[in-house]
Amino acid sequence: MLSRVANLVYWMARQLERAENTARIVDVNAQLVLDLQSRQAADDPRSWEPLVFVAGNDEKFFELYGKTVSERAVVEFMLFDRRNPSSVLSCVSQARENARCIRDLLAAEVWETLNTFYLKLKDDDFARYAQLGSSEYLNRVKAQIQLFYGVAESMLPRSDEWWFFQLGRYLERADNTSRILDVKYYMLLPEVAAVGTALDMIQWGSVLRSCSAFEAFRRSRRGQLNLERVVDFLVRDELFPRSILYSVAEMEQALLRIVNGDDHLIGNPASLAATTLRQELESTDSPAVISDGLHEFLDLIQKRIDEIHAAIQSTFIDYPTSRAKILA
Amino acid sequence: MSDLFHSYDHGRFYDEMFAGPGRPRPHYQRLFDRFGRMDSMSDLLERQRTADQTFVNRGVTFTVYSDTAGTEKIFPFDLIPRIVPAHEWAVLEAGLTQRMQALNLFLTDIYSEQRILKEGVVPAEMVNTSKHFRREMMGFAMPRGLFVHINGTDLIRDESGAYRVLEDNLRTPSGVSYVLENRQVMKRVFPNLLRDYRVRPVETYANDLLNLLLHLAPEHVPEPTVVLLTPGVYNSAYFEHSFLARQMGIEIVEGSDLVVENDRVYMRRSNGLAPVHVIYRRLDDDFLDPTVFRPDSLLGVPGLVGAYRKGNVALCNPIGTGVADDKAMYYYVPRMIKFYLGQDAILHNIETFLSSDPKDLSYILENLPKLVVKSVNEAGGYGMLVGPHSTAAQIAEFRAKVIANPRNYIAQPTIGLSRCPSVCDTAIEGRHIDLRPYILNGETIKIMPGGLTRVALRKGSLVVNSSQGGGSKDTWVLADDDQVQSQTQGGPEKLIV
């Protein structure tokens, strides 16, 4: 497929996945705050501040909203603010813009699903969010994106556009799952003593639920809900589709299908980088990671994912014409 | 009598539906009866809302440059179709075919021997001063001898109901996607009416267009690759570009997707460079190749014209067709038909005055308040003066422009375009319409039955362009007129052309 179009599909998938995960991150935080039980803590600005750092947008946030961090400011910033390129509305709007550019590739229903979603979302605001309650509102947002995936899944041919879609989706998901884990890390930072308490368990339960991972975790990991087991599950589970390892393995597969036996693309830097990261994750020792610093580990994963992204761009999208292979 | 048409003002214009107050023309009788069964205006408005929502959901939109808040609008659609009886269409089809043949011969001639100039039928300075005459194309052996492939000819009906040619669009005529989408919507809203009328289908257009494009490919290529070249997603017609590419199953590309190496055109794919043989370009000549035409254009493909001249890639429409749709050249089309085909024009032009002719010029300057004055190179309803609707200051401004640059202007009498009943806010009212049929010139000349009926939805407006508040209607060309005649006493009305 056209390089430009491949890039549009790839970014469309990334933006939608990011929108979904941003909704998940807000959701997990809203739940964590509720779990703090005391009303005072819930109103504490520090309860919402971590989200801004985790999403990697702290500078933009403070520039737009000043130093006071309230639930309202964070929710507006992360869900509805068009000035924040990673807000749910910005992501869905950009994904729709990309879809508009490639409408000739998409079945009419695929486009209509996204377009209808965007048209509804663009008029929403904090009042609407508060009126429905965070959990109900965010569930609706997630359901709309899931609907898009469902329609796309049943209608897109398994040609390059599908594999670039998968590539973008899983690359973004690997990154985002690492960020969701990081929310809990920030949350716990001031009170390490809380590890192992009832509250701690409730909070890990919330993290799992925000990844729709609670049931899957319970079935695959026996025993207590604790830091080590949850981290191991979300980082390294081979079967759960939102774990980092699973996402990286899917990226590797998508790249394999894109390369599709083309001699000149075998051993390209993107495929090599994905394979390396997958192998490293497989041999990661979770207890060691935690004792060495979970945040640093997650940071490193995000950096590696960035490198894969750069390799994808230079291999398939922005390659120099002069050295390109001429196809028959 | 149907309530919905009870207070319909027939007006002093030719009305497509009514021969007189309360008397529908034979081919509208069935629709008149059908609408008579609707309870009220609100029933009709409900259907109109359904149709509008369908367009929004399907993303059938165009972009308005000046509107930053919501840059997409639907092209307003009116539910009441324009119905063209079979015998009327047969005449239009013959006239449009004849016109296409003559224009193709004219372009062939202009870029080779220039016989028509040597014999003085068209003044040589008309060609030499045309902004769209491309000297680069002189002597070029055009693939299959086809110098123009697609024409969108705008037709109107005057106060007497006679069809007249308003202009040709020989560069990148747009609007055909609306014809196809309008029909889809009508199939949902009035399925029975459409079937009972035996309306000729328009759905083969994309297939006909693809066959035409394949026909143009360099002959040595067994399986040619066709692409559609668009200026990009922010172009006002992008929906149409994407729609047509999807219907034909071809790649839609932007200039940056194409590269030229050794006079061959390739598109940048994720796995390398793939050869391209035919380009359906929706980009004006000026922007095609910055090394030949406008050097500041970022939309085009450096080296494209070189590849074209070598015969390695075909362009549709070819470069240089604009010399024949210049609004001053329009004046000479009936003479071209006579010169090349030895026939009289079946479809007549509107009476036209050329500012470049001293006699015409003095007439124009004396009668500006009565005339429509058009800049010869502008489209989209821009750069024109509608005398009767203009202020003294606007008229004075145009007078100065015409005097300064006579070659750039023509004038025509203000024509009261025919009107067709249209769904307005509270009632059905007459609105002015025109018609753009699409003519394909490939192995044979093919004309889609019907075309885009544009309607000036602003009350009293004569300007049908989408950029000026226009909308569209579905155009129903009937498969035969038996059904029409069987319902009425007497034969069909005499067609005036």
Ordered by where they begin, the domains of chain B are 351-413 (3.30.1490.270)
Lowest mean pLDDT among A137-146, B208-217, B290-299, B349-358: B290-299
Q: What is the CA angle B87-B91-B94, rounded to 5?
A: 135
B452-456/B251-253 β-pairing: unpaired
Q: Of the candidates A82, A298, A75, A96, which has an alpha carbon nearest to the alpha carbon of residue A185?
A: A298
ipTM over 0.95: no
pLDDT-based confidence at residue B493 (cuts at 50, 70, 90): very low
- A104–B243 CB contact, under 8 Å: yes
Mutate which of B270, B273, B280 to test chain A, going by most A C-beta atoms within 10 A?
B270
- B57–A115 CB contact, under 8 Å: yes
| Amino acid of residue B366 | E
pLDDT-based confidence at residue A302 (cuts at 50, 70, 90): very high
Each residue's pLDDT tens digit, A211-257:
888 888 988 887 778 888 899 999 999 999 999 999 999 999 999 99
For residue A154, the distance in angstroms to the closest alpha carbon of chain B comes to 19
The pLDDT of residue B54: 83
Report the residue from B242, B256, B269 with minimal CB separation from A1.
B269
For residue A88, the distance in angstroms to the closest alpha carbon of chain B comes to 19
Residue pair B124/B370 in contact by the 8 Å Cβ criterion? no
The pLDDT of residue B1: 43
- B233–A101 CB contact, under 8 Å: yes
Mean pLDDT of chain A: 89
pLDDT-based confidence at residue B289 (cuts at 50, 70, 90): very high
Give me the residue label for tokens 């037709």: B155
The pLDDT of residue A94: 95
Q: How many whole angstroms separate alpha carbon B420 and alpha carbon A273?
A: 65
Q: Is B460's pLDDT higher than 90?
A: no
- A324–B233 CB contact, under 8 Å: no
Report the residue count for chain B: 497
Going from the C-alpha of A60 to that of each of A65, A82, A156, A187, A241, the distances in angstroms are 9, 12, 36, 21, 31
- A2–B272 CB contact, under 8 Å: no
DSSP A251-291: HHHHHHHHHTT-GGGTT-HHHHHHHHHHHHHHT--HHHHHH
Instruction: Count Cα neighbours of A69 within 13 Å in the Cβ-side half-sphere.
Output: 18
pLDDT-based confidence at residue A207 (cuts at 50, 70, 90): confident
For residue A161, the distance in angstroms to the closest alpha carbon of chain B comes to 10
Q: Is B495's pLDDT higher than 50?
A: no
Each residue's pLDDT tens digit, B122-144:
999 899 988 899 998 999 988 89
The alpha carbon of B357 is separated from its chain's Cα centroid by a whole number of angstroms, namely: 28
pLDDT-based confidence at residue B487 (cuts at 50, 70, 90): very low
Domain boundaries defined on chain A: 1-155, 157-328
Strand partners, A151: none
Lowest mean pLDDT among A182-196, A258-272, B237-251: A182-196
Averaged pLDDT, A190-212: 72
Q: Does A143 touch chain B (CB under 8 A)?
A: no
A-B C-beta contacts closer than 8 Å:
79
Cβ neighbours of B271 in A, within 8 Å: 258, 260, 262, 264-265, 316, 325, 327
Q: How many whole angstroms separate alpha carbon A155 and alpha carbon A243?
A: 26
The pLDDT of residue B70: 43
Report the residue from A103, A112, A262 with minimal CB separation from B57.
A112
- A2–B58 CB contact, under 8 Å: no
- A104–B254 CB contact, under 8 Å: no
Rg (CA), chain A: 20
Alpha helices in B70-175 (DSSP H): 86-110, 115-118, 124-128
